[in-house]
């Protein structure tokens, strides 16, 4: 290390694995990034995003001063802007405009005419103060973030069955696991460091992997068994496994008797889900279903890991319930090497949820419709909404179009990339009266904003992230924010202070934080699971909540003796078809997902050098289907659904089955969600991103060039 170089330990800002990054810094420049070999999470490894994807911090397109539209927009005529349609402003002018307009909406239409999107990439402290502002100052529960668009079905299912919605075990428990089911997760690309552990466990430690996925993802190469189900058929597949376990008496009867309820009713419902019935619907051979059921049920320790391929359906809650049932039938829960493990997507989607960035829960998953909970937070904050649930992300976007929501605050999210049926979302946002975006860049949503507030990056602020293992980890400032950017919690605290004065609140909340550790300590007071976690402990410990006291070492796995709801509950299931399936006009089933080099809507990674490695969108199509289009590998094609179309290159590959196509969702110029359907799970309110019907036609190179940014397309 050079003498003028400092090493700042922090946490990766990309996926939910939560690898430690050591930023090697000279002045305000990161020279390179490493991770220690003894790190509990990364174990000396980093993926390409963690190792090389941090240079977005220095991208020339970063917003480094507050911006105000030269002509503020009107409801019904709001249009996207170019960079020169904004003017630079002082912080005082920008915050005065934001608070005046929000106060006007609250006074004229009521608190529920406002809404906020918190951010899964921001810190726990950032998200806590933002949801606090909207509850304690404005008085609404219209608060959500991208958890609604990823694991909401998992959250609801886990709350229904066991009473807790987080990952029950640690990813590294794979080494203590005999058989693991991996489903709906492209682990090697979406959670690469966990993927390395899964591969190592399979190759060198005897762990048998059962991979259930419509695509031949990389983990199939390490699997003892691959179940290639058709998109949207998870309930019959996993319920047929439950049928086999019950019929062959492979259940853990003592566990069922002592720790569960409603088994008899559930078992009767499972009688219909024979392996033969599941084969007809899912396409998975019955003998493979029987084999998978026996492998999992007879294991000493069995675990289930899943990601967005399970909850992102109109029956996503039922998909997750079908997985929970397998663990309850076998007793593979409450021990090391077992458990129910939804792999969380973004770096702090777990923490943002923990911090209360949801319409149905205060911090710590305390229900907004419980009067005692409301009174608890009112006593601390001085003001809260009346008991009740707010609008979810998808409901908020719909409410833009109806005029129910008139003023929107967005911190670090990009709904005009993440909402389903983007044509509908673009139309709806035009009807907002006022929009403020707090971010590093002007993304697709930010182009519609009246005010843009410049945020500090992960390298420019302190705080904490909580990874998919429930592990709370420090984020440390490596250098001061560039330009006039500020940490999100600082911006929100000043907005809240000004807004309270304008709304003339009689009892006011505390906003005088000088450091995010003070915010964390306030969270500790209100959330029992955080009580024993302090910044001092986090200097040397990586604690997994719940940590109920300063003496507690944390909780590496949950449910050892009991469940939060008492007894875990079985729920009878029936098979429901997806909202839209292929037909003669739209003959292909589209599914969506991530690629290794990019993250989520691409706001960060596409402003980094990683965009040179994966600059262009594509559609995967099976070789048997390519002649029907017709197309060849690399050909321009147009993919069309009933909602819109995109032009991109064909990638002819056997990774997808005949009749199934795949489009990654990172590319604004060929946004996958232009195609996806505006249909949601009625319980979790999560959209159906994983299946809709599309057709594919040849396109010209000229059409591809027109769709892509200048210089991106090679002949």
At 598-626, the pLDDT tens digits run: 988 888 999 999 999 999 999 999 999 99
DSSP class of residue 546?
P
**Does 657 have pLDDT greater than 90?**
yes
Which tens digit of pLDDT belongs to each residue from 561-582? 999 999 999 999 999 999 999 9
User: What topology is assigned to 588-707 in CATH?
Assistant: Barwin-like endoglucanases (2.40.40)
* pLDDT, position 3: 58
Pairing of strands 302-306, 179-183: parallel
Q: Tell me which of 210-219, 361-370, 497-506, 597-606 is least confident.
A: 597-606
Q: How confident is the model at residue 505 (pLDDT cuts 50, 70, 90)?
A: confident
The mean of the pLDDT values for the chain is 94
* pLDDT, position 709: 59
* pLDDT, position 225: 98
DSSP, collapsed to helix, strand or coil, labels residue 424 as helix
The stretch 445-469 carries a mean pLDDT of: 97
Which tens digit of pLDDT belongs to each residue from 43-66? 899 999 999 999 999 999 999 999
Q: How many CB atoms lie within 10 A of CB 571?
A: 17
* pLDDT, position 409: 98
* pLDDT, position 357: 96
Helix axes of 316-330 and 286-298: crossing angle, nearest 10 degrees: 50
Rounded to an integer, what distance in angstroms lies between the CA atom of residue 23 and that of residue 42?
15
The stretch 533-550 carries a mean pLDDT of: 96
Pairing of strands 588-593, 660-664: parallel
* pLDDT, position 148: 81
User: At CA 228, angle to CA 282 and CA 240, rounded to 5?
Assistant: 45
Rounded to an integer, what distance in angstroms lies between the CA atom of residue 210 and that of residue 16?
22
**Does 1 have pLDDT greater than 80?**
no
Q: How confident is the model at residue 2 (pLDDT cuts 50, 70, 90)?
A: low
Mark 579-590 as b/e (b = at least 16 C-beta within 10 Å).
bbebeeebebbb
Those residues whose C-beta lies under 8 Å from the C-beta of residue 2, and which sit 6 or more positions away, are: 26
Which tens digit of pLDDT belongs to each residue from 80-116? 999 899 999 999 999 999 999 999 999 999 999 999 9
CATH architecture of the domain formed by 152-342: 3-Layer(aba) Sandwich (3.40)
Which tens digit of pLDDT belongs to each residue from 311-368? 999 999 999 999 999 999 999 999 999 999 999 888 899 999 999 999 999 999 999 9
Which tens digit of pLDDT belongs to each residue from 124-136? 999 999 999 999 9
Q: How confident is the model at residue 146 (pLDDT cuts 50, 70, 90)?
A: confident
* pLDDT, position 602: 86
The stretch 184-194 carries a mean pLDDT of: 95
Task: Check whether the bond before 165 is cis (ω within 30° of 0).
Answer: no
CATH 3.40.50.740 at 67-149+347-538, yes or no:
yes
**Does 711 have pLDDT greater than 60?**
no
Rounded to an integer, what distance in angstroms lies between the CA atom of residue 180 and that of residue 211?
8
Identify whether the C-beta of residue 149 lies closer than 8 Å to the C-beta of residue 687: yes
The stretch 515-536 carries a mean pLDDT of: 97
* pLDDT, position 152: 86
Q: Tell me which of 332-346, 627-641, 699-713 is least confident.
A: 699-713
* pLDDT, position 713: 37
DSSP, collapsed to helix, strand or coil, labels residue 516 as helix
Cα torsion through 359, 363, 369, 371, rounded to 10:
-150
Which tens digit of pLDDT belongs to each residue from 673-697? 999 998 999 998 899 999 999 999 9
Where in the chain do CATH 3.40.228.10 domains reside?
152-342
* pLDDT, position 403: 95
Q: How confident is the model at residue 710 (pLDDT cuts 50, 70, 90)?
A: very low
Q: How confident is the model at residue 75 (pLDDT cuts 50, 70, 90)?
A: confident
Give the HSE-up count for residue 654: Cα atoms under 13 Å, Cβ half-sphere.
Answer: 1
Where in the chain do CATH 2.40.40.20 domains reside?
588-707
Q: Tell me which of 142-146, 452-456, 601-605 is least confident.
A: 601-605
* pLDDT, position 345: 84
């Amino acid at each position: 290390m050079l003498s003028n170089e400092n090493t700042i330990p922090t946490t990766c800002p990309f996926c939910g694995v939560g690898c430690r990054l050591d930023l090697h810094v000279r002045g305000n420049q990161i020279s390179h990034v490493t991770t220690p070999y003894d790190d509990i999470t990364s174990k000396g490894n980093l993926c390409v995003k963690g190792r090389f994807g941090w240079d977005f911090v220095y991208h020339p397109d970063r917003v480094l001063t507050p911006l105000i539209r030269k002509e503020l927009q009107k409801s019904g005529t709001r249009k996207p802007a170019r960079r020169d349609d904004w003017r630079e402003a002082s912080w005082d002018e920008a915050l005065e405009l934001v608070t005046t307009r929000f106060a006007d909406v609250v006074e004229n239409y009521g608190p529920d005419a406002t809404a906020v999107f918190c951010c899964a990439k921001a810190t726990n402290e950032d998200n806590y103060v933002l949801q606090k502002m909207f509850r304690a100052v404005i008085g609404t529960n219209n608060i959500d973030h991208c958890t609604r668009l990823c694991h909401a079905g998992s959250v609801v299912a886990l709350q229904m069955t066991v009473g807790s919605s987080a990952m029950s075990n640690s990813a590294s428990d794979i080494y203590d696991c005999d058989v693991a089911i991996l489903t709906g997760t492209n682990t090697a690309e979406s959670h690469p460091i966990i993927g390395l552990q899964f591969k190592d466990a399979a190759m060198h430690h005897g762990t048998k992997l059962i991979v259930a996925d419509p695509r031949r993802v990389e983990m199939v190469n390490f699997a003892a068994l691959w179940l290639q189900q058709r998109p949207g058929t998870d309930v019959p597949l996993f319920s047929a496994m439950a049928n086999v376990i019950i019929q062959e008496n492979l259940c853990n009867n003592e566990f069922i008797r002592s720790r569960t309820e409603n088994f008899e009713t559930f078992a009767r419902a499972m009688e219909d889900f024979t392996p033969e019935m599941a084969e007809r619907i899912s396409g998975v051979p019955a003998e493979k279903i029987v084999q998978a059921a026996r492998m999992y049920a007879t294991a000493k320790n069995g675990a289930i890991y899943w990601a967005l391929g399970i909850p992102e359906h109109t029956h996503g809650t039922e998909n997750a319930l079908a997985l929970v049932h397998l663990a309850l039938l076998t007793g593979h829960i409450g021990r090391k090497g077992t458990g129910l493990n939804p792999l969380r997507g973004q770096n702090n989607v777990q923490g943002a949820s923990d911090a209360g960035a949801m319409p149905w829960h205060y911090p710590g998953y305390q229900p907004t419709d419980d009067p005692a909970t409301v009174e608890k937070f009112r006593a601390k904050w001085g003001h809260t909404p009346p008991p009740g649930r707010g609008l979810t992300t998808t409901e908020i976007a719909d409410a833009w179009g109806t005029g129910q929501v008139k003023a929107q605050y967005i911190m670090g999210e990009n709904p005009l990339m993440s909402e389903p049926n983007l044509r509908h979302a673009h139309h709806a946002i035009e009807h907002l009266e006022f929009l403020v975006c707090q971010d590093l860049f002007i993304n697709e949503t930010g182009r519609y904003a009246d005010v843009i507030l410049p945020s500090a990056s992960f390298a420019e602020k302190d705080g904490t992230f909580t990874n998919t293992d429930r592990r709370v980890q420090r984020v440390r400032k490596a250098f001061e924010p560039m330009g006039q950017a500020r940490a999100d919690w600082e911006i929100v605290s000043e907005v809240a202070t000004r807004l309270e004065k304008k709304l003339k609140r009689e009892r006011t909340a505390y906003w005088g934080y000088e450091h995010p550790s003070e915010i964390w300590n306030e969270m500790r007071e209100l959330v029992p699971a955080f009580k024993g976690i302090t910044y001092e402990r986090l200097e040397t410990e990586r604690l997994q909540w719940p940590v109920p006291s300063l003496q507690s070492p944390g909780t590496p796995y949950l449910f050892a003796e009991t469940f939060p709801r008492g007894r875990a509950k079985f729920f009878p299931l029936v098979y429901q078809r997806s909202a839209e399936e292929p037909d003669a006009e739209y003959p292909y089933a589209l599914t969506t997902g991530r690629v290794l080099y990019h993250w989520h809507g691409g706001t960060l990674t596409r402003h980094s050098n990683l965009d040179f490695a994966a600059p262009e969108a594509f559609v995967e199509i099976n070789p048997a289907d390519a002649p029907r289009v017709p197309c060849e590998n690399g050909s321009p094609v147009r993919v069309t659904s009933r909602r819109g179309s995109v032009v991109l290159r064909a990638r002819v590959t056997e990774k997808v089955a005949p009749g199934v196509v795949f489009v990654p969702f990172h590319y604004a110029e060929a946004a996958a969600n232009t195609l996806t359907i505006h249909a949601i799970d009625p319980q979790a309110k999560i959209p159906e991103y994983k299946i809709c019907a599309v057709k594919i036609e040849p396109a010209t190179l000229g059409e591809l060039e027109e769709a892509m940014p200048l210089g991106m397309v090679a002949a």
